[in-house]
């Protein structure tokens, strides 16, 4: 399939299905197209960008009866539109972003101010997932950058106010926090953590930690409470979750469940090397960069040690053996969702250190055949 396949088989739809030469929908809002706008602009693909902009102008409408996930829609569509506005200065993208942001406000109208996970952008209604009254901590704490920026650009404080309210609630010393680490779920009615005693930097908690640092930087490094929470969390990670394999010494981040350690690391955790490096670059302790470099090597090995050259969704590490090997993978983990965490971390590491190996590792991920054994 060439680069025109999305244009030919899935134009304006959420995702391309390359084998069947068709498409699938999640929200019906052109996710792939909007995700790609800033990339096309940066890469100078002017003809493709103009065509995509025309679709946004003429076809993209948020006035539709559809439930969308607040978090995914914020980081992918709202974030994509805001990024494109910053790059181009084109008012179209800011107008679309404001329309979408306003339509997602009903998600924040809960008893606890912890937002619902899903919102109907046409009806103006919101609700938790069908199976629970809980929201995922990572989702409700990883929308602030975009909404804060929307308030800044529109001079309308409502977007920042709503997101600040629930983040302030989580910052309280709620039962369940542990040395800066937070559980994975929070109840939208009570505002209290649920499923306590489980701590991970993987799915359902990961970007809570990432957004603490990035909000602090976004706010001009003036919001001390965000920095305090981030530094405390890093210390909690080092104290409770950092481990090493055998003599080969791969450093990894495990999970804690009811005080029992599990040497399991999601690919999602590979956001952490880049985040630690960004913090060190922003004046935080130098040992953050040391840990970043160690974890970057591990994330690289999660690709390198696989026959396909692609990381599994989850890796289990061998802390007993004589080699720095990833243990046998679970059948359910033997897939790669093209997640961006490792590549983003490699981008930060190369920019801050100028070490060519990080750029080379990124190229290996893009072209895994370069590192596969030749038969």
Residues 6+ apart with CB under 8 A from 273: 292, 293, 295, 296, 299, 345, 348, 349
Is residue 357 helix, strand or coil? Answer: helix
Q: Which of 14, 134, 206, 344 is catalytic?
A: 206
Q: Which of 15, 35, 67, 72 is catalytic?
A: 72
Q: Which of 48, 210, 266, 341 is catalytic?
A: 341
Q: Which residues on adjacent β-strands are paired with residue 193?
A: 186
Residue 48 annotated among the catalytic residues of the structure: no
Angle ∠(356,358,359) on CA atoms, nearest 5: 70
CB neighbourhood size of 78 (10 A): 25
CB neighbourhood size of 43 (10 A): 11
Residue 15 annotated among the catalytic residues of the structure: no
Q: Which of 149, 229, 266, 313 is catalytic?
A: 313
Residues 6+ apart with CB under 8 A from 371: 303, 304, 309, 364
Q: Write b or e for each residue in 111-142: b if 16 or more Cβ atoms lie within 10 A of its Cβ, otherwise e.
A: ebbbbbbbbbbeeeebbbeeeeebbbbbbbbb
DSSP letter string over 289-315? HHHHHHHHHHHHHHHHTSTTS---SEE
Residue 266 is inside which H or E element, if any? strand 264-266
Residue 313 annotated among the catalytic residues of the structure: yes
Residue 72 annotated among the catalytic residues of the structure: yes
The residues that are catalytic are: 72, 206, 313, 341
């Amino acid at each position: 399939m060439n680069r025109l396949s999305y244009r030919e088989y899935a134009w304006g739809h959420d995702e391309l299905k390359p084998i069947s030469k068709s498409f699938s929908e999640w929200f019906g809002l052109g996710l792939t197209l909007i995700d790609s706008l800033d990339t096309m602009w940066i890469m100078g693909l002017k003809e493709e960008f103009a065509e995509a902009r025309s679709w946004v102008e003429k076809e993209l409408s948020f006035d539709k009866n559809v439930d969308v996930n607040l978090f995914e829609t914020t980081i992918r569509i709202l974030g994509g539109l805001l990024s494109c506005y910053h790059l181009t200065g084109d008012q179209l993208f800011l107008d679309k972003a404001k329309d979408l942001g306003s339509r997602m406000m009903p998600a924040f109208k809960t008893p606890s101010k912890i937002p619902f996970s899903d919102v109907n952008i046409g009806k103006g209604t919101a609700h938790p997932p069908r199976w629970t009254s809980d929201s995922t901590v990572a989702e409700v704490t990883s929308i602030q950058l975009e909404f804060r920026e929307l308030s800044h650009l529109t001079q309308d404080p409502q977007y920042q106010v709503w997101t600040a309210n629930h983040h302030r609630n989580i910052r309280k010393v709620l039962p369940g926090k542990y040395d800066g680490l937070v559980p994975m779920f929070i109840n939208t009615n009570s505002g209290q953590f649920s499923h306590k005693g489980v701590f991970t930097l993987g799915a359902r908690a990961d970007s809570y930690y990432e957004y603490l640092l990035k909000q602090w930087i976004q706010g001009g490094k003036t919001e001390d409470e965000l920095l305090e929470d981030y530094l405390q969390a890093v210390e909690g990670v080092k104290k409770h979750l950092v481990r090493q394999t055998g003599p080969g010494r791969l450093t990894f981040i495990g999970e804690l469940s009811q005080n029992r350690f599990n040497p399991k690391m999601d690919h999602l955790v590979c956001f952490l090397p880049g985040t630690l490096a960004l913090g060190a670059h922003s004046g935080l302790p130098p040992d953050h960069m040391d840990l970043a470099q160690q974890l970057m090597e591990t994330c690289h090995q999660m690709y390198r040690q696989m026959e396909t050259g692609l990381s599994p969704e989850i890796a289990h590490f061998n802390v007993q053996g004589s080699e720095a090997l990833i243990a046998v993978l679970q059948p359910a983990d033997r897939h790669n969702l093209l997640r961006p965490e490792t590549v983003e971390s490699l981008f930060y590491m190369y920019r801050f250190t100028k070490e060519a190996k990080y750029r080379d590792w990124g190229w290996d991920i893009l072209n895994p055949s370069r590192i596969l054994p030749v038969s």
